[in-house]
Structure 1
Amino acid sequence: MRRTFAFTLSAILSLSIAGFSGAEEYLNGITWDTPPIVTPGETDNAPPADAVVLFDGTDYSNWNGAETWTIEDGAAIVGKGFIVSKDEFGDCQLHVEWSAPLPAEGTGQGRGNSGIFMMGKYELQVLDSYENETYHDGQAGAIYKQTPPAANVNRKPGEWNTYDIAWTAPRFNEDGSLKSPAYMTVFLNGVLIHNHFELKGDTPFNRPPEYKAHGEKGPISIQDHKNPVRFRNIWVREFKQAAGEQTAEPYLR
């Protein structure tokens, strides 16, 4: 019985391999550009070779508005007013690490509050949401006033949290009307909390979201909400989809 089974299995595998080797191959007819080679960072959170490093723990030379912000142990500490990146970005990948103040003070929106603004207009909330209740679309990881995060994976105050953000900028027609909305994918501490979420517009506190035409690129800004939140290791990569040209009709060979 064992010999018969072994022979049968061997015969099936031989026929399968022979059939696959004789199969036609589908070709989509696209001639792809060669993807650029990007050397990754030496550690998981280190910036890759093509990243623009906005804050490396030493100075605020890449920011405007940081006159009252300070640096302690390589971390940026919120002062008075927003800081705004000198460089502007459209579609991009943004990495930010942040830590809520210790000892924790205040409750709700008054505890460890700040925010990351894409293009200076679209906020991903920063808040101490570790055992701190507030409205769900205003907690840490929320796209402010539009959607809560899919999960609360905040670390304790004083510990470091990590945002990895994939941003697709909105596009506008020549007449100022919306051509395509913004999208955001976000990982908080390695956990997916937004998966290609379609933004309804900007993220104000006191009115519904709306889109108003603006340029293809805009700055990254970080909010002062009167809490000494810390930030470190901020870097961004401009993102371009793989490109190719349809040089032939799809075919089998």
Structure 2
Amino acid sequence: MRKLWILGLLLSHVAVAQDYKPEDTEVWEPEPKVITGVKGGQVPSDAIVLFDGSDFDAWRKAEAKEPIAWDLIDGRMQVAAGTGAIMTNQNFGSIQLHVEWKAPAVVKGDGQGRGNSGIFLQSRYEVQVLDSYDNRTYSNGQAASIYKQYAPLVNVMNPPTEWQSYDIIFTAPEFDDKGDLLSPAYVTVLHNGVLVQNHVEIKGSTEYIGPPSYQAHGDAPIMLQDHGNPVSFRNIWVREL
């Protein structure tokens, strides 16, 4: 009986296919825009460059309308401990984000006290930055974790003398007119080219203590954290999705 059922199903598909021409399932419009991709260190032609090593023009201090006090050293920005987080001047929704970062070459501390910073999408949802090379801490707090929500699938850390890269695909949450959540945020992360977060559902704003929750918001800046460690960043660009 099962063989007869399968045969009948195949025949029905053939019958349906005979009712179509190849062009009936071709979509020609809209035509995808032509851009240049990532080649030899260049960024995609439709990307917004947030930091190319030359200045802080795309950034401001997170807690006040003041110039940022982070250090600009040999084409990289470095956290100046105690000066506060920085955020982009521009607000963003759903994005593709590329960030390269490096933990301090001189290893100090352990656990969360070693090479700690963070990349906050829409200033709320943290992808953890941490020196997790031979440095055990709680799994949902190590490098490339969605902090206190999801541990990375694997640990792909380079030694602290080498640069790390994050490629992040972020789908922003949606809220209705009353502020109720319609669709949660989702994030995919590649660490040094390896998939470590696979379209995970963000449970709400990042919290150090207690469970996460959502509060309605619109587009918001990308924020880089000052956690007291001289972490460096370079080659930051974003594509709006």
TM-score, normalising length: structure 2: 0.86
TM-superposed CA distance for 1:51, in Å, is 0.6
Q: For 1:28-63, what per-residue CA distance to the aligned partner results, in whole angstroms no more than 9, with x for missing partners?
A: 4756311111112332x4311111100000110100
Which of 33, 43, 50 is matched with 1:36 structurally? 33
Q: Does 1:100 align with 2:96?
A: no
Structure 1 spans left out of the alignment, 5+ residues: 1-22, 240-253
Alignment of 1:42-81 (within 5 A): 42-43=39-40, 45-65=41-61, 67-79=68-80, 80-81=83-84
Aligned equivalents of 1:235, 1:146: Cα separation in 2: 25
Aligned equivalents of 2:144, 2:94: Cα separation in 1: 20
Q: Quick check: 2:71–2:78 contact (8 Å CA) kept in 1?
A: yes
TM-superposed CA distance for 1:87, in Å, is 0.9
1 or 2, which has the higher strand percentage? 1
State the match for 1:160 in structure 2.
Answer: 163
Aligned equivalents of 2:206, 2:47: Cα separation in 1: 27
Aligned equivalents of 2:25, 2:148: Cα separation in 1: 43
Q: Which amino acid aligns with 1:218?
A: A
Q: Quick check: 2:68–2:86 contact (8 Å CA) kept in 1?
A: no
TM-superposed CA distance for 1:102, in Å, is 1.1
Q: For 1:99-128, what per-residue CA distance to the aligned partner results, in whole angstroms no more than 9, with x for missing partners?
A: 000111000000000000000000000000
Which of 140, 144, 157 is matched with 1:141 structurally? 144
TM-score, normalising length: structure 1: 0.82
Q: Does 1:222 align with 2:219?
A: no
Q: Which amino acid aligns with 2:32?
A: P
Structure 2 spans left out of the alignment, 5+ residues: 1-19, 62-66
Alignment RMSD (CA, Å): 1.5
In the alignment of these two chains, the number of paired residues is 215
Aligned equivalents of 2:73, 2:145: Cα separation in 1: 27
TM-superposed CA distance for 1:197, in Å, is 0.5
State the match for 1:192 in structure 2.
Answer: 195
Aligned equivalents of 1:208, 1:182: Cα separation in 2: 16
Percentage of matched positions with identical amino acids: 51
Which of 150, 154, 162 is matched with 1:151 structurally? 154
Q: Quick check: 2:51–2:236 contact (8 Å CA) kept in 1?
A: yes
Aligned equivalents of 1:24, 1:85: Cα separation in 2: 50
Flag as ranges the 4+ runs of structure 1 deviating above 4 A.
Answer: none
Aligned equivalents of 2:50, 2:26: Cα separation in 1: 40
